[in-house]
Protein backbone atom coordinates (compact mmCIF):
# COMPACT_ATOMS: atom_id res chain seq x y z
CA UNK A 1 0.00 0.00 0.00
CA UNK A 2 1.44 3.36 -1.07
CA UNK A 3 0.86 6.81 0.37
CA UNK A 4 -1.06 7.90 -2.73
CA UNK A 5 -3.61 5.12 -2.11
CA UNK A 6 -4.81 6.55 1.21
CA UNK A 7 -5.11 10.26 0.49
CA UNK A 8 -8.16 11.95 1.96
CA UNK A 9 -10.06 14.66 0.11
CA UNK A 10 -11.33 16.31 3.29
CA UNK A 11 -8.24 18.49 3.81
CA UNK A 12 -8.29 21.73 1.82
CA UNK A 13 -4.77 23.27 1.76
CA UNK A 14 -4.03 26.85 2.71
CA UNK A 15 -2.60 29.53 0.43
CA UNK A 16 0.18 31.93 1.43
CA UNK A 17 -2.34 34.76 1.20
CA UNK A 18 -4.56 33.22 3.89
CA UNK A 19 -4.34 34.79 7.33
CA UNK A 20 -3.26 33.03 10.48
CA UNK A 21 -6.74 33.56 11.92
CA UNK A 22 -8.29 31.81 8.92
CA UNK A 23 -5.84 28.92 9.29
CA UNK A 24 -6.74 28.54 12.98
CA UNK A 25 -10.45 28.41 12.13
CA UNK A 26 -9.78 25.73 9.51
CA UNK A 27 -7.76 23.70 12.00
CA UNK A 28 -10.52 23.92 14.58
CA UNK A 29 -13.15 22.83 12.07
CA UNK A 30 -11.08 19.88 10.84
CA UNK A 31 -9.83 19.01 14.35
CA UNK A 32 -6.18 19.06 13.31
CA UNK A 33 -3.15 21.03 14.48
CA UNK A 34 -1.43 21.23 11.08
CA UNK A 35 -2.35 22.23 7.53
CA UNK A 36 -0.41 22.18 4.25
CA UNK A 37 0.38 25.40 2.39
CA UNK A 38 0.05 25.18 -1.38
CA UNK A 39 0.31 27.80 -4.11
CA UNK A 40 -1.10 26.55 -7.41
CA UNK A 41 0.04 22.92 -7.12
CA UNK A 42 3.40 23.51 -5.43
CA UNK A 43 3.74 22.28 -1.86
CA UNK A 44 5.41 24.98 0.26
CA UNK A 45 5.28 23.49 3.73
CA UNK A 46 3.24 22.39 6.71
CA UNK A 47 2.11 25.06 9.15
CA UNK A 48 1.29 24.16 12.75
CA UNK A 49 -1.06 25.78 15.23
CA UNK A 50 2.00 26.63 17.31
CA UNK A 51 3.62 28.42 14.34
CA UNK A 52 0.58 30.70 14.14
CA UNK A 53 0.15 31.31 17.87
CA UNK A 54 3.81 32.32 18.10
CA UNK A 55 3.09 35.29 15.83
CA UNK A 56 2.35 38.72 17.28
CA UNK A 57 -0.27 39.40 14.61
CA UNK A 58 -2.25 36.35 13.51
CA UNK A 59 -4.18 38.52 11.04
CA UNK A 60 -1.12 38.63 8.79
CA UNK A 61 -0.86 36.28 5.81
CA UNK A 62 0.82 32.98 6.59
CA UNK A 63 3.25 33.54 3.74
CA UNK A 64 5.20 35.78 6.13
CA UNK A 65 5.48 33.15 8.87
CA UNK A 66 8.44 30.93 9.69
CA UNK A 67 7.49 27.26 9.50
CA UNK A 68 8.87 24.71 11.95
CA UNK A 69 7.82 21.81 9.67
CA UNK A 70 8.49 23.18 6.20
CA UNK A 71 9.57 19.84 4.70
CA UNK A 72 7.22 17.45 6.53
CA UNK A 73 5.75 15.51 3.61
CA UNK A 74 5.88 12.11 1.96
CA UNK A 75 6.28 11.07 -1.67
CA UNK A 76 3.30 9.39 -3.30
CA UNK A 77 5.29 6.20 -4.00
CA UNK A 78 6.39 5.60 -0.40
CA UNK A 79 4.93 2.74 1.64
CA UNK A 80 2.27 3.00 4.35
CA UNK A 81 4.89 2.09 6.96
CA UNK A 82 6.80 5.24 5.99
CA UNK A 83 3.60 7.21 6.59
CA UNK A 84 3.39 5.90 10.16
CA UNK A 85 7.10 6.54 10.76
CA UNK A 86 6.99 10.18 9.62
CA UNK A 87 3.79 10.98 11.51
CA UNK A 88 5.28 9.48 14.67
CA UNK A 89 8.67 11.17 14.31
CA UNK A 90 7.28 14.60 13.44
CA UNK A 91 4.32 14.39 15.88
CA UNK A 92 1.90 15.75 13.27
CA UNK A 93 -1.86 15.38 12.86
CA UNK A 94 -1.79 14.95 9.08
CA UNK A 95 0.81 14.24 6.43
CA UNK A 96 0.97 15.99 3.03
CA UNK A 97 1.62 13.79 -0.03
CA UNK A 98 3.67 15.13 -2.95
CA UNK A 99 4.94 13.79 -6.26
CA UNK A 100 8.52 13.81 -7.56
CA UNK A 101 8.07 17.43 -8.71
CA UNK A 102 6.96 18.54 -5.22
CA UNK A 103 3.40 19.08 -6.40
CA UNK A 104 0.76 18.61 -3.72
CA UNK A 105 -1.51 15.61 -4.24
CA UNK A 106 -3.42 15.55 -0.96
CA UNK A 107 -3.00 14.66 2.69
CA UNK A 108 -3.26 11.62 4.95
CA UNK A 109 -5.19 12.09 8.19
CA UNK A 110 -4.72 10.27 11.47
CA UNK A 111 -8.22 8.81 11.08
CA UNK A 112 -7.13 7.24 7.79
CA UNK A 113 -3.98 5.83 9.40
CA UNK A 114 -6.08 4.33 12.21
CA UNK A 115 -8.46 2.75 9.71
CA UNK A 116 -5.65 1.24 7.65
CA UNK A 117 -3.96 -0.11 10.78
CA UNK A 118 -7.20 -1.83 11.77
CA UNK A 119 -7.22 -3.57 8.38
CA UNK A 120 -3.56 -4.58 8.52
CA UNK A 121 -3.87 -6.01 12.02
CA UNK A 122 -7.14 -7.82 11.14
CA UNK A 123 -8.96 -6.39 14.16
CA UNK A 124 -12.36 -6.87 12.50
CA UNK A 125 -11.76 -10.60 11.97
CA UNK A 126 -13.07 -12.96 14.66
CA UNK A 127 -10.46 -14.72 16.75
CA UNK A 128 -8.08 -14.38 19.65
CA UNK A 129 -4.75 -12.71 20.40
CA UNK A 130 -1.59 -14.30 21.80
CA UNK A 131 1.39 -12.24 22.97
CA UNK A 132 4.69 -14.14 23.13
CA UNK A 133 7.79 -12.84 24.90
CA UNK A 134 10.95 -14.18 23.29
CA UNK A 135 14.63 -13.38 22.94
CA UNK A 136 15.43 -11.62 19.70
CA UNK A 137 17.92 -14.30 18.62
CA UNK A 138 15.25 -17.00 19.17
CA UNK A 139 12.68 -15.39 16.89
CA UNK A 140 11.67 -17.82 14.13
CA UNK A 141 8.58 -16.79 12.19
CA UNK A 142 8.42 -20.16 10.46
CA UNK A 143 8.31 -22.07 13.76
CA UNK A 144 5.64 -19.81 15.24
CA UNK A 145 3.50 -20.23 12.13
CA UNK A 146 4.03 -24.01 12.17
CA UNK A 147 2.85 -24.24 15.79
CA UNK A 148 -0.32 -22.29 15.04
CA UNK A 149 -1.08 -24.14 11.80
CA UNK A 150 -0.47 -27.55 13.40
CA UNK A 151 -3.49 -26.78 15.56
CA UNK A 152 -5.76 -26.15 12.57
CA UNK A 153 -5.55 -22.37 12.91
CA UNK A 154 -4.20 -19.49 10.86
CA UNK A 155 -2.29 -16.33 11.75
CA UNK A 156 -4.34 -13.38 10.50
CA UNK A 157 -1.68 -10.83 11.49
CA UNK A 158 1.64 -10.84 13.31
CA UNK A 159 3.82 -7.97 14.42
CA UNK A 160 6.65 -7.42 16.88
CA UNK A 161 7.38 -4.89 19.59
CA UNK A 162 10.96 -4.57 20.81
CA UNK A 163 11.62 -4.03 24.49
CA UNK A 164 13.53 -0.86 25.36
CA UNK A 165 17.18 -1.60 26.24
CA UNK A 166 16.54 -5.34 26.12
CA UNK A 167 17.34 -8.41 24.08
CA UNK A 168 13.71 -9.48 24.30
CA UNK A 169 10.75 -8.73 22.07
CA UNK A 170 6.99 -9.27 22.08
CA UNK A 171 5.40 -11.11 19.18
CA UNK A 172 1.68 -10.31 18.87
CA UNK A 173 -0.41 -12.87 17.00
CA UNK A 174 -4.01 -12.50 15.82
CA UNK A 175 -5.41 -16.03 15.42
CA UNK A 176 -8.56 -16.92 13.50
CA UNK A 177 -9.89 -19.12 16.34
CA UNK A 178 -11.48 -18.16 19.65
CA UNK A 179 -10.49 -21.40 21.37
CA UNK A 180 -6.69 -21.27 21.54
CA UNK A 181 -6.23 -23.82 24.34
CA UNK A 182 -4.39 -26.32 22.13
CA UNK A 183 -2.22 -23.59 20.60
CA UNK A 184 -1.18 -22.35 24.03
CA UNK A 185 -0.36 -25.92 25.08
CA UNK A 186 1.86 -26.38 22.03
CA UNK A 187 3.69 -23.10 22.64
CA UNK A 188 4.28 -24.24 26.21
CA UNK A 189 5.76 -27.53 24.98
CA UNK A 190 8.20 -25.53 22.86
CA UNK A 191 9.09 -23.44 25.95
CA UNK A 192 7.65 -20.20 24.64
CA UNK A 193 6.73 -17.60 27.25
CA UNK A 194 3.10 -16.60 26.80
CA UNK A 195 2.92 -13.07 28.13
CA UNK A 196 -0.79 -12.42 27.51
CA UNK A 197 -3.81 -13.85 25.76
CA UNK A 198 -7.06 -12.17 24.78
CA UNK A 199 -10.29 -13.86 23.85
CA UNK A 200 -12.53 -12.18 21.31
CA UNK A 201 -14.57 -10.42 24.01
CA UNK A 202 -11.45 -9.31 25.89
CA UNK A 203 -9.83 -8.22 22.65
CA UNK A 204 -12.71 -6.07 21.48
CA UNK A 205 -13.07 -4.54 24.93
CA UNK A 206 -9.40 -3.59 24.81
CA UNK A 207 -9.68 -2.42 21.21
CA UNK A 208 -12.73 -0.25 21.89
CA UNK A 209 -11.00 1.28 24.89
CA UNK A 210 -7.88 2.06 22.86
CA UNK A 211 -10.00 3.42 20.00
CA UNK A 212 -11.96 5.70 22.38
CA UNK A 213 -8.68 6.98 23.84
CA UNK A 214 -7.32 7.60 20.33
CA UNK A 215 -10.43 9.50 19.19
CA UNK A 216 -10.39 11.57 22.39
CA UNK A 217 -6.78 12.45 21.68
CA UNK A 218 -7.67 13.49 18.12
CA UNK A 219 -10.39 15.79 19.47
CA UNK A 220 -8.15 17.56 22.01
**Among 5-19, 64-78, 102-116, 190-204, which stretch is predicted with the lowest mean pLDDT?**
190-204
Considering the domain architecture, whether residues 108 and 131 belong to the same structural domain is answered as no
Average pLDDT over residues 51-69: 90
Backbone angles phi, psi at 89, to 5 degrees: -65, -40
Considering the domain architecture, whether residues 103 and 129 belong to the same structural domain is answered as no
62: left (phi over 0), alpha (psi -120 to 50) or beta: alpha
Q: Looking at the domain assignment, is residue 79 inside a domain? A: yes
Considering the domain architecture, whether residues 27 and 69 belong to the same structural domain is answered as yes
Considering the domain architecture, whether residues 90 and 64 belong to the same structural domain is answered as yes
Considering the domain architecture, whether residues 140 and 170 belong to the same structural domain is answered as yes
Considering the domain architecture, whether residues 12 and 103 belong to the same structural domain is answered as yes
Tell me the residue range of the domain where 156 lies: 122-215
Of 117, 141, 166, the position where a domain reaches its end is: 117
CA 175 to chain centre: 22
80: left (phi over 0), alpha (psi -120 to 50) or beta: alpha
Considering the domain architecture, whether residues 72 and 46 belong to the same structural domain is answered as yes
7-8-14-20 Cα dihedral, nearest 10 degrees? -120
- CA separation, residue 113 to residues 7, 54, 116, 150, 169 (Å): 10, 29, 5, 34, 24
Q: What is the pLDDT of residue 191?
A: 94
In this structure, what CATH number is given to the domain that contains residue 173? 3.30.70.260
Considering the domain architecture, whether residues 108 and 147 belong to the same structural domain is answered as no
Of 77, 92, 117, the position where a domain reaches its end is: 117
In this structure, what CATH number is given to the domain that contains residue 76? 3.10.580.10
Q: What is the pLDDT of residue 143?
A: 95
Q: Looking at the domain assignment, is residue 168 inside a domain? A: yes
Considering the domain architecture, whether residues 139 and 111 belong to the same structural domain is answered as no
Are 200 and 169 in contact, with CB atoms under 8 Å apart? no
Considering the domain architecture, whether residues 148 and 107 belong to the same structural domain is answered as no
Are 78 and 3 in contact, with CB atoms under 8 Å apart? yes
Pick 202 or 102 by higher pLDDT.
102
Of 117, 141, 161, the position where a domain reaches its end is: 117
What's the total number of domains in the chain?
A: 2
Q: Looking at the domain assignment, is residue 220 inside a domain? A: no
- With 70 as the cut, is the pLDDT of residue 154 above it? yes
Considering the domain architecture, whether residues 131 and 100 belong to the same structural domain is answered as no
Considering the domain architecture, whether residues 96 and 112 belong to the same structural domain is answered as yes
pLDDT, mean over the chain: 88
Query: How sure is the predictor about 219, in pLDDT bands with cuts at 50, 70 and 90?
Result: low
Amino acid sequence: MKAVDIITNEIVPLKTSDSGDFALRQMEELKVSHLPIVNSEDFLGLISEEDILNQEDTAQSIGTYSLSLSRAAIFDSQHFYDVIKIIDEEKITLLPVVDSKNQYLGAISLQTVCHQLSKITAVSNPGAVIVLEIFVHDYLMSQIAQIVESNDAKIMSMYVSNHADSTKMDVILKINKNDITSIIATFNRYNYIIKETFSESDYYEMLNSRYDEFISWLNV
